[in-house]
């Protein structure tokens, strides 16, 4: 599904990870949020400009791949760390429910063609879900993580490593 020309390409990630200082967990996840937000904005522009199905489909596939990897690293690593270190499990529960909704839309999109009815609407609604989710994470979960005494540098390294592994599997598909 993912192609090696994607902006979050594994080879680029590995190169930049070797050259750049390691990111803490909040910085890494926030950077992903900013990147996917930009991708959704670009998608909306493509729709407004009546871009062809190929352009819209390629970007939608990139968005879906990025969100899938991002959700997986949060669910495998970040959310368990939050559950172990903060008392507010409801916020983590809500985040997981939001992931489930996004995954359903991603699954629907993966079974569609960009020219299908409702395709653009589903990508745009996915963007709205993600925007809401990002706001809650950045305004509620991340401040809790920073106050909880979690080693965010170590957690960031773990997230980055797992992200590289998952991206490599996407490139191989």
Residue 50 in any domain: the answer is yes
Using an 8 Å Cβ cutoff, are 126 and 109 in contact? yes
State residue 4's pLDDT score: 35
- Domain with 77, as residue range(s), is 10-172
Residue 4 in any domain: the answer is no
Give the Cα separation of 114 and 54 in Å (integer): 7
Distances (CA, A) of 43 to 96, 123, 126, 157, 169: 25, 8, 11, 30, 25
Please state the pTM of the whole predicted model.
0.86
Which residues are CB-contacts of 25 (< 8 A; sequence separation ≥ 6)?
A: 78, 81, 145, 150, 152, 153, 155, 156, 159
**Unique residue bearing structure tokens 């993580």:** 145
Residue 5 in any domain: the answer is no
CATH of the domain at 45: 1.20.120.520
Residue 1 in any domain: the answer is no
Distances (CA, A) of 140 to 48, 75, 108: 33, 17, 29
State residue 14's pLDDT score: 39
How many distinct structural domains can be found in the chain?
A: 1
pLDDT, one tens digit for every residue, the chain (173 residues)? 333 333 444 333 333 444 556 899 999 999 999 999 999 999 999 999 999 999 999 999 999 999 999 999 999 999 999 999 998 899 999 999 999 999 999 999 999 999 999 999 999 999 999 999 999 999 999 999 999 989 999 999 999 999 999 999 987 66
State residue 21's pLDDT score: 65
Residue 3 in any domain: the answer is no
């Amino acid at each position: 599904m993912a192609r090696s020309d994607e902006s979050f390409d594994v080879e680029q990630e590995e190169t930049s990870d070797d050259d750049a200082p390691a990111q803490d967990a909040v910085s890494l996840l926030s950077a992903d949020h900013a990147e996917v937000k930009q991708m959704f904005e670009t998608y909306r522009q493509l729709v407004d400009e009546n871009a062809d199905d190929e352009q819209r489909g390629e970007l939608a596939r990139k968005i879906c791949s990025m969100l899938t990897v991002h959700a997986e690293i949060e669910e495998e690593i970040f959310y368990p760390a939050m559950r172990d270190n903060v008392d507010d499990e409801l916020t983590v529960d809500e985040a997981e429910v939001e992931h489930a909704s996004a995954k359903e839309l991603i699954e629907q999109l993966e079974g569609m063609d960009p020219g299908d009815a409702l395709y653009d609407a589903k990508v745009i609604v996915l963007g709205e879900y993600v925007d809401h989710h990002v706001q809650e994470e950045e305004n509620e979960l991340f401040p809790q993580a920073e106050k909880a005494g979690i080693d965010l540098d170590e957690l960031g390294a773990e997230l980055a490593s797992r992200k590289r592994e998952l991206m490599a599997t996407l490139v191989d598909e």
